[in-house]
Amino acid sequence: MTQGAQKNDADTFFGLPSAWRQAFEFSQLGITGRFESEIADLVVFGEIPKELNGTFYRMMVDPLYPLMPDNPAIEGDGNICALRIQDGRVNMKNKYIETERLKLEKQANKRLFGLYRNPFTHHPCVRAAIDSTANTNVIYWAGRLLTLKEVAQPYEIHPDTLQTLGSDPLAFPANYIILVLWPFEAQLDRIESGGQHWLFSYDRPATFIAVPRRPDNLPAGWSKGESRVYHWENSVAIHTAGSWEGEDGKLYFESSRVFYNTLPWFEPPGEPDMRDLKADYVRWEIDINQPTGTKVKDPEIILDLPSEFARMDERFLTRTYDRMFVPVLLPHRPNTAPPVVPLCLNGYVMLEKGSNRRTFFDPGPYAAAEEPIFVPRSESATEGDGWVLAMVQRTDVNRSDLIVLDTRHFEKPVAVIQLPFRTKNQIHFNWVDNKERNDQVLPLVG
């Protein structure tokens, strides 16, 4: 294959310079987005289950203006995509989140914000602005659709028009919070000199902070306002699935685990440390009777495959659970899609932990598997009985497909919803059933 025929190759622009070149270099995906759309009646292959009536909300990182060089791929404006499933048909809409920073840049008609989380690289006129892109996650909470970013309050979005309604505070009640810290370091002198906010440390341990949520229900031996810090070896526990309090009084949670820097933009100077590219999914145990500084025991491996973005039947949050639905690197298929931080997951597994039964769905070659979501078959369905929805990127033909899997026959979709173009890769997404909105749903498209 000649260089000019390579898919998504930045050099097919004949060496011409562009402020947008960086957008085409990340993972060789060549997808810049930068549009808003409405599409009625998407093409459906198969039959969408009649019980599925709701909206699949995706959050995408989509810079409207060219990024400052050396920015990570997680920097960029939030763009929300909604796919409304109703009576077996699907409509789609996507819009930018009108954050304060995006409004300021639109007014100036240029990029005003510099490096990710480095205010010293921003234009002086915006250093007091809320530096949130609202580009990471979307949840439906207390009747409100909220888009989230780790560094700021969420923005509320109208669930039908996708208009931005404003920013809103948020808090969660329960018994414990487990804060999972990654081994990255922030140094003020580096930030002030225009460098990256974070750099990965190959010396720092994985860190977990246990925080009681209710001061009137403290563990034995804990004082009011106390939190405790626990460690394990240098590694990254990326995203978690379920967590619960055991009958033995210990805390348990499950997460992906890698032994390398998953964010290559934050690599310290020098050659990358490639000591161990192992990745798996594990169960952590935290004994909160132990003092701060205790090293936790080695986690139990529950899925020995590279995996991320696991989801579960969320009716069982804070309780023990059995079924997980996980994007993985399929053991029987070579990875033929371009890598995504730093490898591309290319299929899904339904893992039944009690029996270790694994049922795979293989979407085919040149596929990039994104985070799935589980929708129960009914309110009274047994755990994990229902449907799994997931967006699959077809990198060879620049198309995106929303896949619908029945957990009773996981190996083959019951429906494939085809988008007429390749959409941006999502960070996270969630499903909002029409019943959660008391069926008070307005048309998504005109």
Binding site for Fe cation, residues? Answer: 239, 428
How far is residue 318 CA from its own chain's centroid? Answer: 20
Number of neighbouring beta carbons within 10 Å of residue 148: 22
C-alpha to C-alpha distance for 32 and 277, rounded to whole angstroms: 29
Main-chain phi, psi angles of 407, to 5 degrees: -65, -15
- Contact between 66 and 422 under an 8 Å Cβ cutoff? The reply is no
- Contact between 283 and 214 under an 8 Å Cβ cutoff? The reply is no
Q: What angle do CA 160, 162, 164 make, to 5 degrees?
A: 135
Cβ burial, residue 385 (10 Å; 0-12/13-18/19+): middle
Where helices occur in 279-347 by DSSP H, the ranges are none
Cβ burial, residue 50 (10 Å; 0-12/13-18/19+): exposed
List CB contacts of 101: < 8 A, sequence separation 6 or more: 77, 112, 113, 126, 129, 130, 131, 132, 133
Of 316, 283, 310, the residue nearest 384 (C-alpha): 316
C-alpha to C-alpha distance for 161 and 145, rounded to whole angstroms: 11
**Per-residue CA distances from 413 to 28, 39, 299, 404, 417 (Å):** 28, 23, 34, 5, 10
Residues 172-187: b if buried by 16+ CB within 10 A, e if exposed: eeeebebebebbbeee
**Binding site feature residues:** 239, 428
Residues 25-46: b if buried by 16+ CB within 10 A, e if exposed: ebbbbbbebeeeeebeebebee
As given in the structure block, the two tokens for residue 339 are: 């890598």
C-alpha to C-alpha distance for 326 and 392, rounded to whole angstroms: 13
Cis ω before 154 (30° cut-off from 0): no
Q: Which helix (H) or strand (E) holds 104?
A: helix 100-108
Match 């986690």 to its residue by tokens: 299
Q: What is the Cα gyration radius of the chain? A: 22
